[in-house]
Structure 1
Amino acid sequence: MTPEEVFLKLVHGVADRDFAVLPELYAEQTDVRHPMNPYGDHPLLSRDALREHFGGVGPRVTEVVRFQPDNLRVHQTADPEVIVAEFEYAGTIVATGEPFRVPAIFVLRVRDGLIVESRDYIDHLSMIRARGQVDELVAHLKEPAGAPAAS
């Protein structure tokens, strides 16, 4: 698969809640980071770590919101392994039907059809708001630095 095809499988797989298949898009040893995560950037460095991530975080997100990728724009770079993808998750809050949008930019390195590196710049605050978790975030931000973080 090309880097663009892998990206499309990833964002549609997240939206379709296909959490068992998503880790298979990544190399055994990978480097996935969420630099803008207000809970801290906790690198995911293996397929097993991603399996745990998707299996834990994914269902908690999709219980309260439904979304699909929208406004997808994929930019090729001088390096054929690397793409920059701009998109939004557009969805609704399950309990209220209220719409929301979460802008994102992913920078992916795909080698032999597998993601070996990814920087996922997501508007986490919009997703936290949509999930009704603002109070949880505020409580976390009030904790002393170095306290264990939720994800």
Structure 2
Amino acid sequence: MTRTAGETVRELVDRVTMLRNGDHSQIEPLAGLYALDAYVTHPLHPEHANSATAGREALRAHFSRLPQADVSVASSVEDFRLHTTADPEVVIVEFRYAGRVGQRALNTRCIFVVRVVAGLIVESRDYIDHLASARAYGVLPEVLARLGAGL
């Protein structure tokens, strides 16, 4: 039986959380949630808004870089809300990653607009508060410096 769009996206969010918390065994199952030609964008990313990650292999590589070996993360998914649309392939989820990154608080809000076909993600637009995430991971000054250098 094929997962619904909502079930697929919930699994995605839960597995990303486990990966961020240091569970490297999530990389392959995460990649397996995507179609071979999946297309993922982060339209509000302050540095990469005009780029995309295309294809399952590129997503696998992205996930393999996600857990930072020198950073201790203890996070969970809070306030998860699934919104269905008139198109059964498209769902919108809103949630936040909450917890701690080392000694810093993590409170990153997210909204994903996702198209799922036959249980696989074919397209996702991920709207994430990247500056809040950068603050939690202790890299906000570097991000802001790079943004300022581009002016």
Sort the TM-score into its range (normalised by shorter chain).
0.7 to 0.9
**Residue 27 of structure 1 corresponds to which residue in structure 2?**
35
- Deviation per CA, 1:40-89, whole angstroms, max 9, x where unpaired? 12201100110111111x11288343211111110110000000101111
- Deviation per CA, 1:83-137, whole angstroms, max 9, x where unpaired? 010111111122x2x4321111000000000000000000001100000001210
Q: Is the 8 A contact 2:71 2:101 kept in 1?
A: no
Structure 2 unmatched runs, 5+:
20-25
Local SS of the residue matching 2:28: coil
Letter in 1 for 2:124: S
Aligned CA RMSD, in angstroms, stands at 1.6
Q: Is the 8 A contact 2:80 2:95 kept in 1?
A: yes
Cα distance in 2 for partners of 1:10, 1:132 equals 25
**What TM-score do the two structures reach when normalised by structure 1?**
0.88
**Residue 51 of structure 1 corresponds to which residue in structure 2?**
60
Structure 1 unmatched runs, 5+:
146-151
Q: Is the 8 A contact 1:64 1:131 kept in 2?
A: no
Taking only the aligned residue pairs, the percentage that are identical comes to 41
Which of 2, 7, 13 lines up with 2:15 in the alignment? 13
Figure out how many residues of one structure are paired with residues of the other and give that number: 142
Q: Is the 8 A contact 1:20 1:55 kept in 2?
A: no
Local SS of the residue matching 2:98: strand
**Residue 86 of structure 2 corresponds to which residue in structure 1?**
78
**Residue 76 of structure 2 corresponds to which residue in structure 1?**
68
